[in-house]
Structure 1
Amino acid sequence: MKIFHINSYKLKVATLAVTALPLIGLVSSCKKDFLVAAPELTLPDQDAFANPTRILGQVNGLYVSLKSGSLLGGRYEIYNDIRAEEFTNRLSNNVTGYDVYGGTNNSTNTYIASFWSQGYLTINRVNLFLKGIETNSTVLTPALNANYIGEAKFIRALSYFSLIQIFAKPYVQNNGSSRGLPLRLQPETSLANNALKSSTVAAVYAQIIKDLDDAEAGLPDGQGSALANTTRAHKNTAIALKTRVYLAMGNYAKVIEEGNKLVPQVAPFINAARTPHALQANVANVFAAPYTTSESIFSLPMADTNAPGTQNQLGYYYNSNVEYFLNQTGAGIYADAAWPATDARKSSLTGNVALSSTSTVRRVTKFSGTSPFIDFVPIIRYAEVLLNVAEAEALVTGGNLVRSRAILQAVRTRSDAAYVFGAFATPTDLVNAILKERRIELLAEGFRYNDLARKATPLPSFGIGTTVPVSDDRYTFAIPLAEINTNSEVNNF
C-alpha cells in the first residue's frame, strides 16, 4: 500500500493521506506542548519549511506518527508479547488480539494491516521531510539541519526495524537472504511508484544500520532537558538502538562495539558520556510520572489530548480491563523459580485482581489502569542495553564472561538486592540466564516474540497450544491483503 502525501502541509498538523486511515495530527514543540494537540492551519508545500518554527512542527509530527496507537504507541508491543507464553487471554475478543493470541490471524486482519500502513506512513513522512529540508537547507543552521535529519533517520530506522521483525523471517535463519520488505526511500506524492518488489531482509537491515550511523553522526549529545532527552533522539538513542539491531543480526562483536559507547567495562555500569544513563534504584520509578528518568533512553509521550486511542493502550490491556493476565503455569516466566517473590519487579509491578468471587488472576501493573491511559510507552531502556551487551559478551568469540555476568547481576540486584546468581558451568548457561532475565525485566514491553525470532527459536504459543516452528506461516505476520492488492510486486524480491 503506497502511503502518499497530499500536496499541502499544515503548520503543526501535517496532512498525509493513506487508504482507509484517518489523518494523524502533528504537534508544536519539543517541550511540554509536544504532548498537546495544536490547531490546524493549512499551508502550501513551499511554506512548510519557510521558517524554523514550521520545520520543528514537521519534526515533531514524525514522532506523533511513530507513536500512533496502531504502531509503537500500544498494539505493536502488545501483539509481540501475547503471541508467546507469558499471557493468558480473558475475553476472546478479536478486536483486542484474540486471533493473534490464538494464531488464527491472516492477511485480512485490519489491526495488523494498521501496523504496516502506519509504519509506511511514518516512513514516507520521513522521506518527505528529508526532501523538504534538503530543498530548504539554508533556513536552519547546519547544526540544526543535522540534528533534525538525524531525528528523521532514527525514526525511519526504528519504523523499518519494527516492521521487519514481524513481517519477515529472522535475519539469522539464512543471513538475511529471505524476502524482506519494500524499501521505500524516496518521497511519494502519488501512486505512480506503488509496484515495488521487496528487498531482502539483509538489504533492509543494511539500510537500518546506515540510517542509525547517519543519525548518530548528526544528532546532538543531548536535547536540552530530561523530557526532551527521553522523547527525542540524541546520539545515545541511535547507539542504543544499534545494539538491538546488531543483536537481531547475530553480530555480537558490533553489539559490543556500540554498547561500549554506553556501558562501562566494570560496575556500577553508569553511562556518563553525552546524555547520562543509569539503572534506577527503584524500578517502579521508570514507569511512573514524569517518565523521564536517566534509564529511559527513548519513550513515546502521551497526554489526555493525544492518548493512544481506544483499546490500544498498554494499561488498558494489562491492568484496567485485564484483556491479558499473567500465565502462572510452568510455561510462563511468572511461575519460574528464577523470579522470586522478593524481586521488586514481581512485588511492585504485578498484582492480584479478582475477576469474580471465585476467580483471581495476576496482572501486570507497570502501566496505569486509569483512563485515559497516558503512560509514556517505553521503547528503549538502559536496562535493555545492558542486557544486550551482556548477551553479546557471552556469545562472541573471546568475549568477556566476567563482564557479562557482572552486568546480569547488576540488572537483577537493582530489583532484588539479596539475589546472587550461582556459578555458570558453561557460557550457554550464562546466556540462558540472560535470556530469562530479559523475560522478567522487559515483560509487557513488546520484546518476547522478537527475542525468540532473533534466535530463530520456535514460538511457544500458549494461545495456540503448541510450539510454532520458524517455517510455519504463523511464525510471522502475513503481508496485509490491502498491500498485496495495491502492490503486485510485494512478494517478489
Structure 2
Amino acid sequence: MKKYINRLFIGALVAGASLLVFSCSSDYLNTAPTDSIGTGDAVGTTDNAMKALNGIAKIMTTQQYYFGGGFCGENNIMIQYESYPSENYNYNYYANGWAPIFNQTFHNRTNSIYDAYAWYYYYTIIGNANTIICNIDAAEGSDSEKNFIKASALTFRAYAFEKLTHYYCWRWQDSNNGASQGLVLRLDESTGSMPYSTLAETYTQIYKDLDDAISLFQQSGFDRENGKVWIPNINVAHAVYARAALTKQDYGKALSEAKLAREGYPLMNNTDYQNGFCNPTSEWLFGSFGSSQENNWYWSYGTQYA
C-alpha cells in the first residue's frame, strides 16, 4: 500500500509541475497591477507621456489624506504657507486658536505636518517630473511632441524647486551670496540619500531647467490646448523664471522674463474682473484648475479653501 501511495504522490507532483510550466509558458500569471503603472507604459509613447504630464497637474489638486484635512495641493500651500502669515490676511476672531499656524510656529517644528507638507508635496511633483524628463527621449512619437512634454516637465520641476526655496531656505539677502543651505537637487529617478546643495547651486539649477525648457518649447512648435492652464507652456516657463530671478534679486532678469511671460495674455476686462477669480481669464498663465466636477469636497472648509 505504501508503494502505491508514494506513486500517487509522485504522480501528483509531476502533474502539478507540468501545470506550472504550462501556465508560466503561456504568461497566464504575467498580469500588470491595477493600482500602478511602469515607466515603460507611462512614458513609452508621447500620448501616454502627455497623460503622465496631466497627472502631475492633478497632484496640485489632490487631497493628501496622510497629512489630514485641508492638505490638498496648491491651494493649501497658498493659504497656509503664504496667505496666513502675511500682513494682508485677517482671520475671524473665533478662530484665534489658529494663531500658531498664522504665526508659522508650527512650521518650525520638525515633527509637525505643517513643516513637512510642502517638502512632501513639491518633491512628489519633482519625482514625477523626473520620470518624464529621464525617459521621454526614448518614447514613441514625434520629436515636436517629445520636446514639448520634456519642456513642460522641466518647468514643473523648476517651479517646485523655486517654491521650496521660499519655505526651507534663507532669503537671498541673508544667504551670504548663496553660500547658505539650499535644496536636495534630485534630477533623476534615484531615491537614495543626497546632500544639500547650496542656495546658489539651487538657483543655478532652476535657471538651467528653465533655459532648457524655453529652448525645447521653441523647438517643439507646440502649445498647450486652449484653456488647459494646468499644463506649463513657454509663458509659464518665463513666469517661473521671473519669480526665481526676483527672489534671487536678479532684477534685470526678472523684468525681462516677466515681459516675455505676459506676451499673448492680456489683462482681463472689467466684466471678467467683476465675475471673480475662480475661473480662468485672459490673464491666467498657470493654475491648478480642473472643472466643475473636480473639487476638494469635504476638505474644502467652505470660505477657507473655496
TM range (shorter): 0.7 to 0.9
Q: 1 CA distance for matches of 2:177 and 2:298? A: 39
Say whether 1:316 aligns with 2:287.
no
CA contact (8 A) 1:73 1:312 kept: no
TM-score normalised per structure 1: 0.48
Q: 2 CA distance for matches of 1:42 and 1:144? A: 24
CA contact (8 A) 2:169 2:182 kept: yes
Say whether 1:53 aligns with 2:47.
yes
**Structure 1 42/241 Cα, relative in aligned 2: closer, same or farther at 3 Å?**
closer
Match of 1:297 in 2: 285
**1:177 is matched by which residue type in structure 2?**
A
Say whether 1:185 aligns with 2:187.
yes
TM-aligned CA deviation for residue 222 of structure 1: 6.0
What SS does structure 1 have at the residue aligned with 2:182? strand
Root-mean-square deviation (CA), in Å?
2.7
Match of 2:158 in 1: 157
CA contact (8 A) 1:67 1:300 kept: yes
TM-score normalised per structure 2: 0.75
**2:111 is matched by which residue type in structure 1?**
T
CA contact (8 A) 2:46 2:145 kept: no
Match of 2:84 in 1: 82
Match of 1:199 in 2: 197
Say whether 1:226 aligns with 2:220.
no
Q: How many residues align?
A: 259
TM-aligned CA deviation for residue 308 of structure 1: 3.7
**Structure 1 253/224 Cα, relative in aligned 2: closer, same or farther at 3 Å?**
closer
TM-aligned CA deviation for residue 146 of structure 1: 0.5
**Structure 1 309/143 Cα, relative in aligned 2: closer, same or farther at 3 Å?**
same
Q: 2 CA distance for matches of 1:41 and 1:182? A: 29
CA contact (8 A) 2:72 2:296 kept: no
**Structure 1 199/311 Cα, relative in aligned 2: closer, same or farther at 3 Å?**
same
Q: 1 CA distance for matches of 2:135 and 2:224? A: 25
TM-aligned CA deviation for residue 262 of structure 1: 4.8
Which runs of structure 2 are paired with 1:30-69 in the superposition (5 Å)? 42-68=36-62
**1:247 is matched by which residue type in structure 2?**
L
**1:210 is matched by which residue type in structure 2?**
K
What SS does structure 2 have at the residue aligned with 1:253? helix
Identity of aligned residues (%): 22
Which runs of structure 2 are paired with 1:379-458 in the superposition (5 Å)? none
Q: 1 CA distance for matches of 2:225 and 2:276? A: 17
Say whether 1:107 aligns with 2:110.
yes
CA contact (8 A) 1:246 1:252 kept: yes
Query: Greater relative contact order (Cα 8 A, min sep 6): structure 1 or 2?
Result: 1
Q: 2 CA distance for matches of 1:255 and 1:45? A: 36
Q: 1 CA distance for matches of 2:266 and 2:79? A: 26
Q: 1 CA distance for matches of 2:222 and 2:282? A: 12
**Structure 1 45/235 Cα, relative in aligned 2: closer, same or farther at 3 Å?**
closer
**2:135 is matched by which residue type in structure 1?**
G
Say whether 1:143 aligns with 2:147.
no
CA contact (8 A) 1:71 1:119 kept: no
What SS does structure 2 have at the residue aligned with 1:179? coil
TM-aligned CA deviation for residue 304 of structure 1: 5.3
Match of 2:17 in 1: none
CA contact (8 A) 2:210 2:237 kept: yes
TM-aligned CA deviation for residue 221 of structure 1: 6.2
**Structure 1 72/218 Cα, relative in aligned 2: closer, same or farther at 3 Å?**
farther
Say whether 1:287 aligns with 2:277.
yes
Q: 1 CA distance for matches of 2:100 and 2:168? A: 16
CA contact (8 A) 1:48 1:54 kept: yes
TM-aligned CA deviation for residue 238 of structure 1: 0.7
In structure 1, the gaps of 5 or more residues are 1-9, 16-39, 264-270, 319-372, 374-493
What SS does structure 1 have at the residue aligned with 2:197? strand
TM-aligned CA deviation for residue 49 of structure 1: 3.0
What SS does structure 1 have at the residue aligned with 2:183? strand
CA contact (8 A) 2:224 2:231 kept: no
Q: 2 CA distance for matches of 1:48 and 1:109? A: 34
Which piece of structure 1 moves more, 236-245 or 80-89?
80-89
Q: 2 CA distance for matches of 1:237 and 1:44? A: 29
Q: 2 CA distance for matches of 1:44 and 1:199? A: 30
CA contact (8 A) 1:222 1:235 kept: no
State the structure with more CA Rg: 2
CA contact (8 A) 1:221 1:236 kept: no
Q: 1 CA distance for matches of 2:261 and 2:76? A: 29
Say whether 1:167 aligns with 2:168.
yes
Match of 2:12 in 1: none
CA contact (8 A) 1:181 1:199 kept: yes
1:69-110: CA deviation from partner (whole Å, max 9, x where unpaired): 54752111012111122223334487xx64221342122221
CA contact (8 A) 1:302 1:308 kept: no
**Whose strand fraction is larger, Structure 1's or Structure 2's?**
1
**Whose helix fraction is larger, Structure 1's or Structure 2's?**
2
TM-aligned CA deviation for residue 152 of structure 1: 0.3
In structure 2, the gaps of 5 or more residues are 1-31, 64-70
